[in-house]
Structure 1
Amino acid sequence: MSEQAEEATDELREFFGLAWAPMEHLAQMLVAEGELRGLIGPREVPRLWSRHLVNSAAISPFVPSDADVADVGSGAGFPGVVLAIMRPDTTVHLIEPMERRVAWLSDVAEEVGLDNVGIHHARAEELHGRQTFDVVTARAVAALDKLARWAMPLVRPGGELVALKGRRAEEEVSEAKYVLRKLGASSTRVDAVTGLPLDTSATVVRITKRS
């Protein structure tokens, strides 16, 4: 018998608001196919909402209105697809090098009905010098010093890299400070996001690029 995701509580419905129906559709797709397609592990399904969907949603308040966003290493769609669902005012470019994950992202965009998503079968470095974005997002891709090398060249002057990080966020920022400076970072902030459903925790690192 396959594992079940956390119960859809009133708290979750209220948190996602108008995005609830498409978000629940995404969750159902992940429960049905996520493990089979190698997107999430079997032990992650019971924590699908708290570990992945709500955690990914934590970046939404840090993305300005009508932003052009790139999500580096989108994988199962965290946080890019979640952001696209929550923020129909944005355009989200999902950048993913693995073909089977690109196929999944295409299936999700079609099934959930996301018309504000573009999918790029590429590594982030392949877009360097070709495109820049208001915001670049990433989650569980790499340590910040490595992630910055991939992501910062995609951030337009005055834009931000907005990365979901774990408990080592402050340490990663410290370890990456020289790399960040070299890549044009003008300021770095670490924000702990509170008040999320299911006692979810999230840490967001925001790196602004010099104008």
Structure 2
Amino acid sequence: MDADGETTEGIPAQEPEGLPEAPPVAREVFGERYETAVRYTELLATAGVRRGLIGPREVPRLWDRHVLNCAVLAELLPADASLCDVGSGAGLPGIPVAMARPDVSVTLLEPLLRRTTFLEEVVRELGLDNVTVLRGRAEEMVGKLAVDVVTARAVAPMERLAGWGLPLLRPYGQMLALKGDTAEQELAESRSALAKLGAVKWTVISVGEGTLETSTRVVQVEAGESPGGVKAATRRAKAARAGRAGNKTADGRGQSRRRR
């Protein structure tokens, strides 16, 4: 048992109650990983509910409102992209995207141990070789992690989320935030902050139209040459200096051992 009271012995087999069959469109979205998507949804409906990551009332609508709703983000990703899912929780949207796009390298970033334990078990059971689980906060990863795309769902208001997500982008990368009906309002309220954080373009788009009954509303933010603005650039430079200093120290120790 870990520090948060969760078992780390793996996810036992359990029959999901109230989970509907996968809709036909799931085969179109997930292709060869359709069966993997079915198993992930079953895990959300059982272990995810038991561990408090998914509300019991969400089980009947896991496919439409959660798994497929997230997977259609794959439409927006360039080939062979690297992606960080900030505040991943139960793996949404990161895991559905990883299943829909095996060419994309996905990092699930989550600060809570009980959640990263669940994510590690899910990734291992599903055999997702394009997914890495990383425990930590976004602000701690500036200068340590740089990706083409940052995603987030139900993590924080847009202005705060941008402050966490944009600094993790490579130059000219993009942040995709699932915001639903509040997308336009949150974007309007955060325009000034986005500009200060190095964003050069932002808009609200719908994905999954023609595929899902209800399309997914996404705030798409495109970064410029310096994602995260001045503060992020300073943190990245500091992290780079610390890395070089650490390498020099390690080299010095190696030389000392060799001289002996």
Q: What's the TM-score, normalizing by structure 2?
A: 0.78
Question: Which whole-Å CA distance do the structure 1 matches of 2:150 and 2:222 have between them?
Answer: 10
Q: Which has the larger radius of gyration?
A: 2
Seen in structure 2, the aligned counterparts of structure 1 residues 113 and 2 have a Cα distance that, compared at 3 Å, is closer
Q: Which residue pairs with 2:257 in the alignment?
A: none
Q: Does 1:60 align with 2:68?
A: no
Q: Does 1:132 align with 2:146?
A: yes
User: Which residue type is aligned with residue 201 of structure 2?
Assistant: S
- What's the CA shift for 1:140? 0.8
Question: Which whole-Å CA distance do the structure 2 matches of 1:7 and 1:191 have between them?
Answer: 29
Q: Which residue pairs with 1:79 in the alignment?
A: 93
Contact preservation (8 Å) 1:54, 1:200: no
User: Which residue type is aligned with residue 210 of structure 2?
Assistant: G
Q: Does 1:196 align with 2:211?
A: yes
Once superposed, what is the RMSD of the aligned Cα atoms? 1.4
Between 1:178-187 and 1:130-139, the stretch displaced more is 130-139
Q: Alignment partner of 1:59: what SS?
A: helix
Mark the runs of 5 or more structure 2 residues left unpaired by the alignment: 1-14, 226-260
Between 1:9-18 and 1:133-142, the stretch displaced more is 9-18
Contact preservation (8 Å) 2:72, 2:97: no
- What's the CA shift for 1:148? 0.3
Q: Which residue pairs with 1:144 in the alignment?
A: 158
Q: Alignment partner of 1:58: what SS?
A: helix
- What's the CA shift for 1:210? 0.6
Q: Does 1:206 align with 2:253?
A: no
Seen in structure 2, the aligned counterparts of structure 1 residues 115 and 171 have a Cα distance that, compared at 3 Å, is same
1 or 2, which has the higher strand percentage?
Answer: 1
Q: Which residue pairs with 2:187 in the alignment?
A: 173
Question: Which whole-Å CA distance do the structure 1 matches of 2:190 and 2:178 have between them?
Answer: 15
Q: Does 1:154 align with 2:183?
A: no
- What's the CA shift for 1:129? 2.2
Question: Which whole-Å CA distance do the structure 2 matches of 1:20 and 1:142 have between them?
Answer: 31
- What's the CA shift for 1:2? 6.5
Q: Which residue pairs with 2:104 in the alignment?
A: 90
Contact preservation (8 Å) 1:3, 1:42: no
Q: Does 1:120 align with 2:146?
A: no
Higher relative contact order (CA 8 A, sep 6+): 1
Question: Which whole-Å CA distance do the structure 1 matches of 2:206 and 2:76 have between them?
Answer: 12
Q: Does 1:23 align with 2:33?
A: no
* Number of aligned positions between the proteins: 210
1 or 2, which has the higher helix percentage?
Answer: 2
Q: What's the TM-score, normalizing by structure 1?
A: 0.95
User: Which residue type is aligned with residue 222 of structure 2?
Assistant: T
Contact preservation (8 Å) 1:68, 1:134: yes
User: Which residue type is aligned with residue 195 of structure 1?
Assistant: G
Superposed CA deviations along residues 115-136 of structure 1, whole A, max 9, x for unmatched, are 1111111011110122211001
Counting aligned pairs with the same residue, the percent is 47
